[in-house]
């Protein structure tokens, strides 16, 4: 996918997030058509989970997935969003344990150089006990990011060799068939995330 196409996906997702946010505040009946219905995003991947086990998209077929791309060395945005996602899922679990059990939160690193399986195991456990952490080769991570319209750019290292990664910021709820449903408001509150899960998880 060319850079222009990825930018178009990012613009589309951004516009849809505004639409979802507005709809969530309107108090109107939930729409019957998913906000991301028809958006071409997602696809196959072959990565490694936090236990060192090979994972593909097929392992999650038949279940809803919350897809979030980030990295463990992120100083602020990623841990804040993941905390909101994890807390929102726990609220949904308290409301409807059966439906919530069908939702798998997945964190995909955009920094495979530092984010090994061991690093991901400790990191994801801090946000939700069922959160899956995925890493892999730079090529495999790049392919997964491309499929989901995620951009990631490694910034220039500092004197100590540390670096930041500028990346897209959104959490996507995928349906059991692997199609995008809605952008979850991870930048808001756990209650907002739980409300979207309640609305769209069947």
Domain boundaries, the chain: 3-23+45-200
- Determine if the pTM surpasses 0.95: no
Q: Hey, what are 96's tokens?
A: 């409807």
CA dist 23 and 126 (Å) reads 31
Please tell me the predicted confidence (pLDDT) of residue 14: 53
Low-confidence ranges of the chain (pLDDT < 50): 1-8, 10-11, 15-28
Please tell me the predicted confidence (pLDDT) of residue 5: 41
CA dist 46 and 86 (Å) reads 24
Please tell me the predicted confidence (pLDDT) of residue 141: 98
Tokens 């009946």, located at residue: 29
Residue 11: HSE in the Cβ half-sphere, 13 Å Cα cutoff: 6
Which homologous superfamily is 3-23+45-200 in? Answer: Glutaredoxin (3.40.30.10)
Tokens 């939702």, located at residue: 103
Please tell me the predicted confidence (pLDDT) of residue 27: 46
CA dist 182 and 174 (Å) reads 8
Q: How many CB atoms lie within 10 A of CB 138?
A: 11
What is the pairing mode between strands 171-174 and 103-109?
A: unpaired
The reply to whether 78 sits in an annotated binding site is yes
Please tell me the predicted confidence (pLDDT) of residue 17: 46
The residues, ordered by sequence, that sit 6+ positions from 180 with a Cβ below 8 Å of its Cβ are: 34, 36, 39, 41, 42, 172, 173, 174
CA dist 184 and 47 (Å) reads 23
Please tell me the predicted confidence (pLDDT) of residue 2: 42
Please tell me the predicted confidence (pLDDT) of residue 19: 42
Please tell me the predicted confidence (pLDDT) of residue 198: 98
The reply to whether 25 sits in an annotated binding site is no
Please tell me the predicted confidence (pLDDT) of residue 3: 45
Please tell me the predicted confidence (pLDDT) of residue 21: 42
């Amino acid at each position: 996918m060319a850079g222009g196409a990825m930018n178009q996906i990012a613009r589309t997702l951004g516009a849809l997030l505004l639409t979802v946010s507005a709809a969530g505040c309107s108090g109107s009946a939930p729409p019957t058509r998913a906000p991301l219905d028809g958006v071409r995003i997602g696809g196959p991947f072959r990565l490694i989970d936090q236990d060192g086990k090979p994972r593909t998209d097929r392992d999650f077929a038949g279940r809803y997935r919350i897809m979030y791309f980030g990295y463990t060395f992120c100083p602020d945005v990623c841990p804040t969003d993941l905390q909101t996602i994890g807390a929102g899922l726990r609220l949904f679990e308290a409301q409807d344990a059966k439906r919530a059990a069908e939702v798998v939160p997945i964190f995909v690193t955009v920094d495979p150089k530092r984010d090994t399986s061991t690093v991901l195991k400790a990191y994801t456990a801090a946000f939700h006990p069922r959160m899956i952490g995925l890493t892999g080769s730079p090529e495999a991570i790049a392919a997964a990011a491309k499929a989901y319209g995620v951009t990631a750019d490694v910034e220039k290292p500092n004197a100590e060799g540390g670096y930041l990664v500028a990346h897209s910021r959104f959490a996507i709820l995928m349906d059991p068939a692997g199609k995008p449903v809605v952008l979850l408001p991870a930048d808001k509150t756990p209650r907002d995330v739980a409300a979207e899960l309640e609305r769209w998880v069947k």
